[in-house]
Amino acid sequence: MMNVNGYLTRLANNAIIRDAEKDSITRSINTISSRLNSYFDKEIGSHFIFGSYTRGTILPRSMDQKSDVDYLIQFSDSTFKPQTYLDRLRRFVNANYPSSQIKQSNPTLVLELNHIKFELVPAIETFFDGLKIPASQSSFNDWMSTSPNDINQSLIRVNKNNNNLIKPLIRLMKYWNAKNGYPFASFELEKNVISQFDYVLPGLLGYQSLENKLYTAVEGLEYSFLDPNYKVNAVQRLQNNIRSIKDERAAGLDDLALMKIKRIFPENNSLISSLLSRGL
């Protein structure tokens, strides 16, 4: 009979973008790259994907309607404010994807295709500050420095040191986040999980399970009472439920614990149907 760890493991392993969808996304990435080069020519320098798609922590859209692929476009000139470059990207999208939905989601431009959203991020590079992307609206600055794929190396190391359980753990936490109105920004949640397990040295741990990693990650979630009520309530509710599940597991009430974990992380029926239809 399936227990809590078995259920979480199955759910996390299914919460990935499958081959057919991945092939479609790859074709779109290649098309965007080609069209950017053709449209902008020497107006742009490097451009590349980054973010959760490159880390293997992106969720299928059936589990997260905000799932998107981040695409950075570095402009050759660096003298303007972010909106100038966003306007250039909007003209590019209008010219190359006239039937697709686009919207500005400060400080990026979102291109919505049938299978996935692309978040187009303008960037500039300066001698002293390196690569910079638009700052959030709440910032007093127009630009902020970035090293977009540095976190990837941290995740590779931490995931390896934790028996390859951190990537599936992140997918579970992002699924909970999406189900609860996004109390955390996706990137911040990923960084939170990685930092919690970054201290672990390989070989010093005994038996490891996704279930125990989840308990640790949930207990480590933090909030401020300056945060909006929905975020505070979501975190408190999750932490209370996990404490209850741990108590039930310790008391041998595995069926009750499994029922409760399924309420927090419900089965994704549309994904299961898709997998079954393909014999997976």
What is the spatial distance between Cα 86 and Cα 102, in angstroms, rounded to a whole number? Answer: 12
State the CATH number of the domain containing residue 142.
3.30.460.10
The reported pLDDT for the residue numbered 231 is 97
- The closest of 134, 103, 124 to 47, measured between CA atoms, is 124
Q: Model confidence at 124, in pLDDT bands (50, 70, 90)?
A: very high
User: Can you give the length of the chain in residues?
Assistant: 280
* C-beta separation of 146 from 158 below 8 A: no
> Domain range spanning residue 131?
19-149
Q: Distance between CA atoms of 277 and 280, rounded to whole angstroms?
A: 8
Per-residue confidence (pLDDT) for residue 199, from 0 to 100: 78
Note whether 89 and 169 are same-domain residues.
no
Q: Is 82 found in the same domain as 200?
A: no
pLDDT tens for 184-220 read 999 999 999 999 999 766 555 556 899 999 999 999 9
Same domain, 117 and 158: no
Claim to verify: residue 240 and residue 211 sit in the same structural domain: yes
Report the alpha-carbon distance of residue 268 to residue 253 in Å, rounded.
24
Same domain membership, residue 188 and residue 97: no
pLDDT in tens, 41-62: 999 999 999 999 999 999 999 9
199 and 129 within one domain: no
Within this chain, do residues 57 and 170 fall inside the same structural domain, yes or no?
no
Confidence of residue 136 (pLDDT cuts 50, 70, 90): confident
Confidence of residue 87 (pLDDT cuts 50, 70, 90): very high
- In the chain, what are the helix, strand and coil shares in percent, each to the nearest 5? 50, 15, 35
Q: Using an 8 Å Cβ cutoff, are 135 and 141 in contact? A: yes
Q: Grade residue 268 by pLDDT with cuts at 50, 70 and 90.
A: confident
- Confidence bin at 276 (pLDDT 50/70/90): very low
CA distance 233 to 239: 10
Note the pTM of the prediction, 2 decimals: 0.90
Number of neighbouring beta carbons within 10 Å of residue 25: 19
- Mean pLDDT value across the chain: 91
pLDDT of 139 reads: 59
140 and 220 both lie in a single domain: no
Residues 156 and 121 in one domain: no
Domain boundary among 98, 123, 149: 149
Number of Cβ within 10 Å of residue 3's Cβ equals 16
Last residue of a domain, one of 127, 149, 171: 149
- 44 in the same domain as 84: yes
CB 100 within 8 A of CB 112: yes
Report the number of distinct structural domains present in the chain. 2
Q: 39 and 24 in one domain?
A: yes
Q: Which residue, of 102, 123, 149, is where some domain finishes? A: 149
Contact assessment for residue 90 and residue 102, using Cβ atoms and an 8 Å cutoff: yes
Do 23 and 144 fall within a single domain? Answer: yes
Assess whether pLDDT exceeds 60 at residue 98.
yes
Return the minimum-mean-pLDDT range out of 5-9, 119-123, 192-196, 269-273: 269-273
pLDDT above 90 for 129: no
Which of 6-10, 105-109, 222-226 is least confident? Answer: 105-109
With b for 16 or more beta-carbon neighbours within 10 A and e for fewer, the 82-112 pattern comes to beebbebbbebbeebbeeeebeeeebbbbbe
Pairwise CA distance, residues 185 & 30, whole Å? 28
Q: What is the pLDDT of residue 141?
A: 72
Among candidates 173, 179, 168, which has minimal Cα distance to 62? 179
Between residues 106 and 210, the one the model is more confident about:
210
Residue 138 scores a pLDDT above 60: no
H-type alpha helices, 51-200: 52-55, 82-96, 150-161, 166-179, 186-196
